[in-house]
Every structure is written in structure tokens, then in C-alpha cells.
Chain A
């Protein structure tokens, strides 16, 4: 259980707002993967994760969700900038991140402590983070990086 403090009501309110954002993101990511039109751009997906990150880090007891949302935001930002290729591996990872967060926000709504992201998923996000950092320190390339095969092997 999360401590019943000054922030209890805010956490529940946040869980509802974050769930709306995540549902929107998951629908958009599914549409991207299917090559279908979606009103929410990748920039919008990034902003949703960004908002979840900033707010979760501001609410005691939800820091673990803030760190996970930061991982999702980083990948969404790299996709939005065209650093990463929009392929099933990367979109699937982002969708898995959104799924994990959605489940944890259900726990928050029930006043339960959120759990850390599963290690395998975290490892994949860490791998993406390292590759994005490498890209940023390397000479600019016109081709987006495909992590499809690499993510499957992790």
C-alpha cells in the first residue's frame, strides 16, 4: 500500500488521467504498426509519456513510474526525430511499455504500490537508450536506425 498522505487523492486523479493518455498512445502505436492513419502523432505520443514522467516524478510513491515513462519518452522522441526506424520491434517495445504503465496505474487506483518494470522489458529500453546515445554522439546519418532484429535477440 502507498502511504495515505496529502497526495492520495492526487495519485488517484493522476491514475485516471494517465490511463486516458496511455489508451490514446496504445491506439496510436497500434495504428502506426498497421500503417493506418492516427490523429495522434508520434510527437503527441512523446508528449503523453513526457507528461506522465514529469507528474509521476512529482508524486511521492510513483517515482518508479516516472523512470519507466522516461524510458518510453526517450524511444518515442527518437522515433519522432527519425533517429529510430518505425518498425514492429520498436513500436512493440513502446506498446509494451505503455501496457506495463497502464497495469501499474490500475494498482495506483487501488492504492497499491506500483511495481518496477519487468527486467526483460527494462533491459530492452536500456539497450535502446544506449543506442540512441551512441547515435547522438556519432556523425549525423540520414537513415534511421533499425533495432528490430537486435530487440528480438535480447
Chain B
């Protein structure tokens, strides 16, 4: 499964990448905001997008809206990462079509549970999604 991690803070990107590697997801790219992420999403095939919400340039919410408005990307599963359980922000993300959210700090187990939840809700159990791209 090929994953794109978007966060303006490079340590946070590393943390998420490390957690994903621990979970066995080796094919992980990173971008520092929505403006950088969008062309990457267009030029390569990603199975999953993990994005922060609070970013300068193009925010996570704007990135999510752009993804949902683009017929080529609209079906991409998106998980947002936020440092606050800010209800307003989460509702906005839900309205924009997010598939799930996780509040920092989180463990590898929590992240795995969220990823599984997203794919189960979409009716695409993780094993099927993973099978398209190799394990897990």
C-alpha cells in the first residue's frame, strides 16, 4: 500500500513514517503541505493519504476538498491528523469528506486501528487494498 503523509512539521512527518514502518507499511512518501502534495497525488498512484489539518499554504482541509473535487482522486481514502480534538474542525473535515481522524499523540496500534477502520467502512478490507500493492 502506497501512502502519502502530509505535515508542515518535518519531525511529525518522521514520527508518522516511523509508526507506519513499524506497522509494515514501507512505501511511504511525504509532503510538507497541500500545495506540494497535490501534484504528487496526480503524478503517482497512492492508496491512502494521511494529512495534518493546520498547515500554511494549502491547509489539510483545502487539500481534502481538492481531492474530493478531482474525479481522479475523489475515491482516495483520507485520514486527518490533528493535535486538538477540536469539534468544529473535525465536523468541517467530515463535511469535506474525510474518512477518519486521529488525535495526536497516538501510538502505532491506534494508527493501525484507524487505517483498518477507514478501509472497513469503505467496504475495502485492508487485506484487499494491501493485496493490490503488496503487504501489509
Contacts and interface: CB of A to CB of B under 8 A. Distances in A.
Interface string A30-72: 0000000000000010010011011101110000001000000
Contacts of A47: 8, 54, 56
B14 A13 contact: yes
Interface residues of A, number: 17
A17 B83 contact: no
A127 interface: no
Contacts, number: 45
A122 interface: no
B12 A54 contact: yes
Nearest to A63: B105
Q: Which of B9, B12, B15 has the most CB of A within 10 A?
A: B9
A44 B8 CA distance: 12
Contact of B18 (A10, A14, A18): A10
A130 B18 CA distance: 37
Contacts of B104: 54-55, 57-58
Given A57-B104, A58-B105, A51 B18 contact: no
Contacts of A54: 9, 12, 83, 104-105
A10 B9 contact: no
B95 interface: no
Contacts of B105: 54, 57-58, 66
B10 interface: yes
B30 to A, nearest CB: 14
Interface in B63-114: 83, 104-106
Contacts of A66: 105
A38 B10 CA distance: 24
Given A44-B56, A50-B54, A54-B104, A10 B83 contact: no
Contacts of A18: 11
Given A10-B18, A54-B104, A57-B104, A17 B54 contact: no
B56 A14 contact: no
Contacts of B83: 50-51, 53-54, 57
A104 B9 CA distance: 19
A10 B54 contact: no
Nearest to B83: A54
Given A51-B12, A58-B12, A66-B105, 16 more contacts: A10-B11, A17-B10, A17-B11, A44-B56, A47-B8, A47-B54, A50-B83, A51-B8, A51-B54, A54-B104, A54-B105, A55-B9, A55-B12, A57-B83, A57-B104, A57-B105
